[in-house]
Amino acid sequence: MSRGLALVLPGRGYPPAAPLLHFARQALVQHDFAARAVAWASDPTTPSEDEADSWVRRHVEEAVAQEGGAEPALLVGKSLGTRAASYAAERGVPAIWLTPLLTVPEVADAIAANPARQLVVGGLVDELWDAEVAERLLRGGCDVLEIPDADHSMGTRDAVRSAEIQYAVAEATELFLRSLG
């Protein structure tokens, strides 16, 4: 029996088949979610910064409509996909935010405003990660995985270390999903 729809929202240049989202989607299926990846990474109409929130929201609403209109039980977003944080907050939807745009106040504030459980994952080498915001989100109840040497793709220049980071993110995702009951 399905635990409900889980939408997987990619980054601007990070498709659903890329490692972070692939393993997240695999974990969702393992935990009986109906996982649906939204594909826009190669869409030439990806938005400007001013349009990003409404553009991502439109894609989320279209995906929900295609799935019969039931609200998602969980959102997973990577980078641009974390612009769906306001959608999740308005509806109290649990979420996993991979490399969220913590330097964008609207995204950080929406994550902070969501009463549902959330996992926030990022690296200190990522220019879009703000460690102070991450600490505030942790104090506010979010689960936070912060990797000191990870960049925006949650990797490093070292292949083995990058694989270790991917493993750590997959493990955190698994533990988070298990904690949802």
**For residue 8, what pLDDT is reported?**
97
**For residue 171, what pLDDT is reported?**
98
Which pTM value belongs to this model? Answer: 0.95
Structure tokens at 75: 């959102």
Res. 80: pLDDT tops 60: yes
**For residue 42, what pLDDT is reported?**
53
The rounded mean pLDDT for the chain is: 94
Q: Which CATH architecture has domain 5-179?
A: 3-Layer(aba) Sandwich (3.40)
**For residue 44, what pLDDT is reported?**
60
Q: What is the 3-state secondary structure (H, E, C) of the chain?
A: CCCCEEEEECCCCCCCCCHHHHHHHHHHHHCCCEEEECCCCCCCCCCCHHHHHHHHHHHHHHHHHHCCCCCCCEEEEEHHHHHHHHHHHHHCCCEEEECCCCCCHHHHHHHHHCCCCEEEEEECCCCCCCHHHHHHHHHCCCEEEEECCCCCCCCCCCHHHHHHHHHHHHHHHHHHHHHCC
pLDDT, tens digit, 9 for 90 and up, residues 128-168: 999 999 999 999 999 999 999 999 999 999 999 999 999 99
pLDDT band at 82 (very low <50, low <70, confident <90, very high): very high
Q: What is the mean pLDDT of residues 51-80?
A: 92
Q: Which residue has the higher pLDDT, 13 or 95?
A: 95
pLDDT, tens digit, 9 for 90 and up, residues 3-49: 999 999 999 889 999 999 999 999 999 999 999 999 875 556 667 77
Q: What is the mean pLDDT of residues 59-70?
A: 91
**For residue 12, what pLDDT is reported?**
87
